[in-house]
Each structure stands twice: as structure tokens, then as C-alpha cells.
Amino acid sequence: MSDEKKPVEKAACVIAWPAGHSRSPLIHNYWAQKYNLNVEYRREAVPPEQLTDFVTHLRERGYVGCNVTVPHKEKVLALSEPDERARAVGAANCLWYDGDTLRSTNTDVAGFLANLDAVTPGWDRGLESAVVVGAGGGARAVIFGLLQRDVRRVYVINRTLERAQALTKKFGSRVIAAGWDETTGLLGGAGLLVNTTTLGMVGQPPLPINLRCQASLVVADLVYAPLVTPLLAMAREKGLRSADGLGMLLHQAVLGFERWFGVKPEVTAELRALVETDLLAGAPKPPVSPVKVKPAPTPKPRKPRNNRPA
């Protein structure tokens, strides 16, 4: 019997610059092994000036599709046929072939909603208002998902009010721009708070927010490094239900794997534990405070002995 490894039947990849931080290979290759598929998922570090050539020759490079992350999510819209989600969010993170057509979508929307459904079931039942902090790509994906779930009012809080106001123009009157000074008041009547900024991420300051809210408030954070951000720690101390960024990362990967390899994978506790371990292994170690050594006491001068004869 030959010990030669069979050639991979299908391959997909993540395109990023740089690409070393991505946990997507860990997730997708775990599923490939679990479902006994002869497929492979790789990292591709693609600098911005090479993006067009790489994406337009994706099939020739041996790929049936790919994930796209920073800084390429917006640029790939013009290199593919985006669906409604990708156009609304203004960014795509998943590409696949439909015949000879390279299509794209934004799986962050589905990942955000699926994670909330899994860990905080019923979160959207009768939800009147939500507060979204931030106005970037993550915020756009979250807002699109919330509007799909018929949330009546979505307040967008951003330090630069003009960016929040731009989302009102993009998504309509159900999205309302608000300033930082309005946060506490809005949280008093909100059913959901979502942080889409990098505040609370490793190396960043915490989100400066006061959780003066109803006991029913659900708190979600898109940050997954650290696993428990200061915002989530605060929410848990108050007994609030919460959803972390790692859950969203895992759930957003499901759609791509199914598109490329024909199997809908399951997000399990085993997979989460695997990625958690990897994240913790790569987390920066806390600084070690130097041990302060107490100086030795200065010996007291000895009195000269009296050598006079008695």
C-alpha cells in the first residue's frame, strides 16, 4: 500500500496583509478533519498592490474561494459580484465561484446574529432599541443584521458624529446618530449594546462606558483578544447576558466552508476550546514586577573597647 498523500481535492484560503494573525486556518482545517474531507485551507499574505492580480486569478492558483480580511475587504467588492449584504455593508469577506462568476458576501452579518442566537437566545424578541458603538465596517455589518431582525431603532454612537450620521443616510431613519454624551441615557432604555470598535482589544484602552441599564440588557463585543474584554467583564459582574467576539468569529466561518466544500459545519465546544487555547497561547504575557530586595541593615558602629588597665 502506498503511503503517498492524496492530492488535495479542493482548497480555499484567507487573503490578508499581513496574514499571520488569522485563526481561520485553524477553524477550517479542524472542520476538514472532522468531516473527513480531502480539502485544505491556507493563509495567503497578499500586499495591496498584488490584490487585483491574486483575486482575478484565484481559480488558476488552485482555489475554489477565499476569505478576505484587512485591509482588502472593501477593495474586493469591485473584483467580484457582491450580494445585497456585501453592498449594504460596503465590504466583502467571503468569495466563491458560481460557475465562472466570482461572487462575494459578508458573513460577519450571519456570524453576529448566529452567535447571539446561540448564547443569548431570545435576545431580539420585542427588541425596541439597540445601541451600537462605532461606525466602521463592523458597525455596518451589525446594523444590517439588526435591521433584518426588525429592531425598531438602532442608535449609533461614535466620537466623530459625522461618521455616525453617514450610517443614518445609508440605512435610513431607523438608524439614529448620537454623541458619546448620550450613551448613558440611551442605555437606560436599550435592550442590546454592541461594541464594534477596537477599544478593549489587547494594547488598547477599555471602552469608557457606564453600564447604567436594565437588567435585561444584552452586551456583545466584537473583540476576541482578549477573550473577556473589560466591557464583558463589567457586564458579567452586573449579571447581564453577554456574547463575545470569538463566538462571532466561529459562526461567521460556517457559510464560507459550506460554499466551498459542500458541508455545513457545526460550531462546537471542542472547536471553541481549540481556538481559545490558541488565542491564550499567543496572548502577551503580563509584565512581571521586579522583586524589590530590601537593603541589608547598616551595621551600627561598635564602640571602641576600653583597654586601660584596671
pLDDT in tens, 22-74: 899 999 999 999 999 999 999 999 999 999 999 999 999 999 999 999 899 99
Give residue 197's pLDDT: 94
- Burial letters for 233-257: b for 16+ Cβ neighbours within 10 Å, e otherwise? ebbeeeebbbbbbbbbbbbbbbbbb
Gyration radius (Cα) of the chain, Å = 26
Contact 91, 77 (CB under 8 A): yes
- Enumerate helices (H) and strands (E) in the chain, giving the number of each: 10, 12
Active site residue 73: yes
Give residue 309's pLDDT: 42
**Active-site position among 6, 10, 73, 170:** 73
Length of the chain: 310
pLDDT in tens, 147-182: 999 999 999 999 999 999 999 999 999 999 999 999
pTM of the model: 0.87
pLDDT in tens, 199-257: 999 999 999 999 999 999 999 999 999 999 999 999 999 999 999 999 999 999 999 99
Segment 2-9 long-range contacts (CB within 8 Å, at least 24 positions apart): 6/38, 8/38, 8/39, 8/40, 9/37, 9/38, 9/39
pLDDT in tens, 190-200: 999 999 999 99
pLDDT in tens, 117-134: 999 999 999 999 999 999
